[in-house]
Amino acid sequence: MALIEWEDSYNLGIEHLDNQHKGLVKQINILHAAMKIGKGKESLDEILKALINYTATHFKSEEELFFQYNFPDSKKHIAEHEKFVKEVLKFKEDFDKGRLMVSIDVLHFLKGWLINHILGSDMGYKSFLLSKGVR
């Protein structure tokens, strides 16, 4: 069983952003599955690389929409993105230097961030962007 099952409540109604969120859920579930069979450490490097790629792509997508439509809370939302990027880069640095040995820390961080960010912050722009015709 997956750690996170995609729920309709996570949908923003903006297809490319929903698909990107589903990609993050997939990465979290891959890490969880690897941990269940004792391969978490071996999978962590690839997961961290995927997360760095995810942040570059997904956050850019959101932020472009914020600027295009003058989303009023964009500064606050972008600050959350920057904090997440710093955390992921710190995980990667710690992993590369041999200081990050337990992938459970990354897993808990990712799951918490995903749920809280989508259901909290991202839902904050949902109605705004949908009202602008973004789908």
Q: Which residue has the higher pLDDT, 120 or 102?
A: 120
- Give one word for 38, left, alpha or beta, with left for phi > 0 and alpha for psi -120 to 50: left
**Tokens, residue 51:** 């997360």
pTM: 0.89
pLDDT band at 135 (very low <50, low <70, confident <90, very high): very high
CATH superfamily of 11-131: Hemerythrin-like (1.20.120.50)
Between CA 87 and CA 94, with CA 91 as vertex, the angle to 5 degrees is 135
The 10s digit of each residue's pLDDT in 56-65 is 899 999 999 9
The 10s digit of each residue's pLDDT in 104-132 is 778 888 899 989 999 999 999 999 999 99
Cα–Cα dist 4/115, whole Å = 9
